[in-house]
């Protein structure tokens, strides 16, 4: 394992031509930084040695009696991911060299075209690169673990809070029924207030659950025709008669989880309807090409939003004052943002107070696998049994 930059190095030379092997060994043995050199002449022996002793770097000839070309390299890098590899190739073209770097080598040298200085530099660079790569991988893994724990924690806590909340709600209802004659108007009003607070807390907990599900519970990814999806979203929003929703024709097909994409448009449309303050409400859904992305806009002629709230409203539980009615939990836009970011897109708003707002989201035009799809099975196993 490569750890300390100044640690003396152990080098394994894998070369079947005795003359080349001796030449390499001659140079390497003169390097002050090297404390141990071993030489083997086949891939099998190389694996054998690497399995028995620790090495920092392998000087690897690709064409050996028992393996040839990039297969040799990949066999070493896949079995010994923590060891740096300098490929020493007989091929003179740069193409082969670059291929070796893309296939996991840290450096490559062309036989007959390097001297002691170049070799020393290559060994040091290779070891240093491998060290950085290994520590980056380790950090990434730790980060993924912490993120996963956080997602599970939010999910489990919010799920478990629901049960006692249901209990409070039932008890309050029984008290209201069983002691109706003893409570008086004040008592009844207080109980009603308590019930409405319980309902609000229930909605907030549902919000956390929904938020923590994005990227954690994954459906099948598919090509989704947004024309059909928007018909469904408009239908679900069920706008009152004074609000007219117009959707652009010829919307594209994008790749993703259908339910999540529906959530994006449904949340944006339902906000446009929910906050509409004009006697004749106009909502328009548009789509334009924006480089490698589709840019969708949901524009309304509602109250608009002050610029100072543009960022805040995309955070969970953040509402603008006056919007904290029974229907407002501050979850909708945070979900929109989380979903489009999971697909590599963005979400933002442009707005003028009194005139209206346009919410924009972008989605990639080309399909790339997303983080949320990679280990669906593993994540679903983490789902505690019986929780929904």
In the complex, the residues that contact ligand ADP under the rule CB under 6 A are 267, 271-272, 275, 300, 302-303, 305, 313, 319-320, 323, 328-334, 357
Q: Using an 8 Å Cβ cutoff, are 336 and 312 in contact?
A: no
Q: Which is nearer to ligand ADP, 29 or 315 (CB)?
A: 315
Distances (CA, A) of 20 to 34, 47, 109, 112, 120: 19, 20, 13, 9, 16
Q: Which is nearer to ligand ADP, 332 or 364 (CB)?
A: 332
Q: Which is nearer to ligand ADP, 57 or 342 (CB)?
A: 342
Backbone phi and psi for residue 177, each to the nearest 5 degrees, phi listed first? -80, -50
Residue at shortest CB range from ligand ADP? 332
Distances (CA, A) of 134 to 109, 203, 230: 22, 44, 46
Q: Which is nearer to ligand ADP, 91 or 350 (CB)?
A: 350
| In the complex, least distance from residue 339 CB atom to ligand ADP, rounded to whole angstroms | 13
- Taking alpha carbons only, the member of 319, 206, 219 closest to residue 262 is 219
| In the complex, least distance from residue 291 CB atom to ligand ADP, rounded to whole angstroms | 26
For strand 57-60 and strand 84-89, is the pairing parallel, antiparallel, or unpaired?
parallel
Q: Which is nearer to ligand ADP, 238 or 378 (CB)?
A: 238
| In the complex, least distance from residue 239 CB atom to ligand ADP, rounded to whole angstroms | 13
d(CA 126, CA 11): 12
Chain centroid to Cα 382, Å, comes to: 18
Q: Is 311 helix (H, G, I), strand (E, B) or coil?
A: coil
| In the complex, least distance from residue 360 CB atom to ligand ADP, rounded to whole angstroms | 12
Torsion 139-141-147-149 (CA) sign: negative
| In the complex, least distance from residue 298 CB atom to ligand ADP, rounded to whole angstroms | 8
| In the complex, least distance from residue 208 CB atom to ligand ADP, rounded to whole angstroms | 13
| In the complex, least distance from residue 273 CB atom to ligand ADP, rounded to whole angstroms | 8
**Geometric angle at alpha carbon 154, from 385 and 342, rounded to 5°:** 95
Q: Which is nearer to ligand ADP, 152 or 203 (CB)?
A: 203
Q: Which is nearer to ligand ADP, 123 or 335 (CB)?
A: 335
d(CA 69, CA 46): 15
- Taking alpha carbons only, the member of 60, 111, 117 closest to residue 83 is 60
């Amino acid at each position: 394992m490569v750890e300390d930059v100044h640690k003396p190095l152990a080098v394994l030379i894998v070369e079947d031509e005795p003359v080349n092997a001796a030449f390499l060994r001659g140079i390497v043995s003169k390097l002050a930084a090297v404390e141990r050199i071993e030489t083997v002449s086949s891939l099998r022996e190389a694996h054998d040695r690497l399995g028995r002793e620790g090495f920092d770097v392998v000087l690897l000839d690709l064409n050996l009696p028992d393996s040839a070309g990039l297969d040799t390299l990949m066999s070493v890098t896949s079995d010994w991911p923590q060891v740096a590899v300098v490929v020493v190739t007989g091929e003179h073209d740069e193409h082969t060299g670059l291929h070796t770097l893309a296939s996991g080598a840290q450096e490559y040298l062309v036989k007959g075209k390097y001297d002691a200085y170049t070799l020393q530099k290559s060994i040091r660079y290779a070891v240093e690169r491998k060290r950085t790569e290994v520590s980056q991988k380790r950090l990434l893994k730790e980060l993924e673990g912490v993120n996963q724990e956080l997602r599970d924690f939010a999910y489990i806590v919010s799920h478990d809070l629901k049960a006692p909340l249901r209990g409070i709600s039932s008890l309050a209802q029984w008290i209201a029924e069983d002691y109706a004659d003893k409570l008086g108007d004040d008592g009844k009003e207080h109980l009603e207030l308590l019930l409405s607070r319980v309902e609000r807390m229930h909605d907030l907990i549902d919000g956390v659950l929904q938020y923590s599900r994005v990227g954690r519970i994954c459906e099948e990814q598919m090509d989704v025709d947004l024309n059909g999806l928007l018909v469904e979203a408009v239908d679900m929003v069920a706008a009152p008669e004074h609000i007219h929703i117009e959707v652009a024709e010829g919307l594209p097909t994008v790749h993703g989880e259908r339910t999540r994409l529906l959530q994006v448009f449904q949340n944006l449309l339902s906000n446009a309807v929910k906050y509409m303050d004009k006697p004749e409400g106009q909502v328009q859904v548009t789509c334009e090409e924006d480089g490698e992305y589709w840019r969708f806009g949901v524009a309304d002629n509602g109250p608009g939003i002050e610029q100072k709230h543009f960022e805040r409203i995309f955070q969970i539980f953040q509402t603008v004052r006056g919007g904290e009615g029974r229907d407002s939990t501050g979850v909708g836009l945070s979900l929109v943002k989380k979903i489009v970011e999971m697909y590599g897109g963005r979400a933002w708003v442009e707005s003028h107070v009194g005139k209206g707002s346009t919410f924009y989201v972008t989605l990639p035009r080309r399909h790339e696998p997303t983080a949320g799809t990679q280990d669906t099975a593993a994540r679903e196993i983490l789902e505690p049994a019986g929780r929904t």
